[in-house]
Amino acid sequence: MPGFAVRLLGASEALVLPLAALAASMVLFGIFVTLAGVDPVEVFALMYKGAFGTAFSIQNTLQRAAPLVLAALCTALPAQLGLVIIGGEGALVMGGLTAVAAALALPAGTPPLAVQIAMAAAGMAAGGAWIALSGALRHFRGVNETISSLLLTYIAIAILNHMVSGPMRDPASLNKPSTPPIGDANMIGSIPGMDVHWGLVFGIVFCIGAWVLMDRTTFGFAARMVGGNVRAAAMSGLPVGRLLIITCFIAGAAAGLAGMVEVAAVHGAANAPLAAGYGYTGILVAFLARQNPLAVIPVAILLGGIDASGGLLQRRLDLPDATVMVLQGIIFVVILASETLYGRFRVFNPKEAA
């Protein structure tokens, strides 16, 4: 067998296994809805229609996927170094809040583009600092980064609630405490010809950038070496602390940018709905994508589609809202379980078989 075919076959394992796991999850979900007394064929037909069946549905799916792409990077990037960061929600919230603060701090009459750039920079810096703090606590103090990033999320949400109902509150926002609006002129609009905001483009660009950084640069190589074995990396003279904190910063910056997009493209101000749970769904996306920055994009679209179709299941079949949560859960468990199957099928490794 020619060399490239062998390599192709080996690479296809990474595609075939998750797809098979996905198919298996669908079968399990089909059994679940049948037990719930609904025709699975109708469920799948509606899900397809709600997620991808019409031009509107596709845009609905992409719109819902947009924040998930950036939020997932917050978990996927530190994972290259062997860190499990689950605090994307906190970085997103801090990013959104700081972005609004930046917009409000600029004098009136600043050109919108300048305001938007300042917002993005401030949002990324704040989100980055938030996760870098977790990384630093890990490196210098030995604090478990999973726990610290989760706890930092609670702090971030508390800061958000305090700021929007206290120091940064717009007195005109009586029953929905919010910061003053950033102004319509400063909002970032939709991608031309689509009803999807720019967050999707930012997310895809960020994913590609992250992949290049991790797969094609010495920085990425060093980072992955830390992920492989911290001690070996330190022994060979790699600056483990710096790699760790910089990667955490970039990861947090991705989530912070997601927060900036939320306020600049959707809400127009910072308020409690900013903490909508994208950061938590992002963890799911990152794990399903096996922490691969490029795989984050299709997985986010898949979850966006499930989310988009959930409403139709509620409306047409009278299924409870939790139905799509069940599907998400099944997919998560089956894909994680399928991890154990890598390398166990000879068809993907013809050399070993021979």
Partner 1 sequence: MASKFTIDRRAVLRGIAAGGALGASATLPFRPAFAKTTTVGFIYVGARDDYGYNQAHAEGAAALKSLPGIKVVEEENVPETVAVQKTMESMINLDGATLLFPTSFGYFDPHMLKMAKKYPDLTFLHCGGLWTAGKHPKNTGSYFGYIDEAQYLSGIVAGYASKSKKLGFVAAKPIPQVLRNINSFTLGAQSVDPTITCQVIFTGEWSMPVKEAEATNSLADQGVDVVTCHVDGPKVVVETAEKRGLYTCGYHASQAPLAPKGYLTGAEWNWSKVYTDYVNLFTAGKPIPNLVRGGLKEGIVKTSAYGPAASAEARKHADAVKAKFMAGDMVIYKGPIETNDGKTIVAAGTSHGQTDIWLESMDWLVKGVIGGT
Binding site for partner 1 (CB under 8 A): 41-42, 44-45, 48-50, 53-54, 56-57, 60, 63-64, 161, 165, 174-177, 197, 262, 266-268, 271-273, 276-277, 307-308, 311-312, 314-315, 320-321
CA distance 97 to 92: 9
Query: Could you tell me the smallest distance in angstroms from the CB atom of residue 197 to partner 1?
Result: 8
**Closest distance to partner 1 from the beta carbon of 239 (Å):** 40
Element (H, E) at 275: none
Of 110 and 314, nearer to partner 1 (C-beta) is 314
Question: Measured from the CB atom, is 53 or 209 closer to partner 1?
Answer: 53
In the complex, minimum distance from the CB of residue 177 to partner 1, in angstroms, rounded to a whole number: 7
Q: For residue 178, give the H/E element and its range.
A: none
Closest separation in Å from C-beta 93 to partner 1? 13
Structural tokens at position 4: 């490239």
Which is closer to partner 1, CB of 197 or CB of 290?
197
**CA 101/CA 263 separation, integer angstroms:** 11
Task: Give 263's contacts (C-beta < 8 A, 6+ positions apart).
Answer: 96, 99, 100, 119, 182, 269, 270, 274
Least CB distance to partner 1 at residue 339 (A)? 28
d(CA 331, CA 336) in angstroms, rounded, equals: 8
Q: Which is nearer to partner 1, 48 or 332 (CB)?
A: 48
Q: Do 94 and 259 contact (CB within 8 A), yes or no?
A: yes
Task: Give the residue with the Cβ less far from partner 1, 57 or 134.
Answer: 57
Angle, helix 322-338 to helix 293-317, in steps of 10 degrees: 150
Cα separation of 317 and 45, whole Å?
A: 12
Taking the least distance from each CB to partner 1, the nearer of 176 and 351 is 176
- Cα–Cα distance, 220 to 79 (Å, whole number): 12
In the complex, the smallest distance separating the C-beta of residue 45 from partner 1, rounded to whole angstroms, is: 4
Long-range contacts, 183-187 (Cβ 8 Å, 24+) = 183/103, 184/268, 185/112, 186/103, 186/112, 186/115, 186/116, 186/119, 186/264, 187/264, 187/265, 187/268
CB of 57 to partner 1, least distance (A): 8
Q: Which of 37, 75, 136 is nearest to 296 (CA)?
A: 75
Nearest residue (CB) to partner 1, 42 versus 339: 42
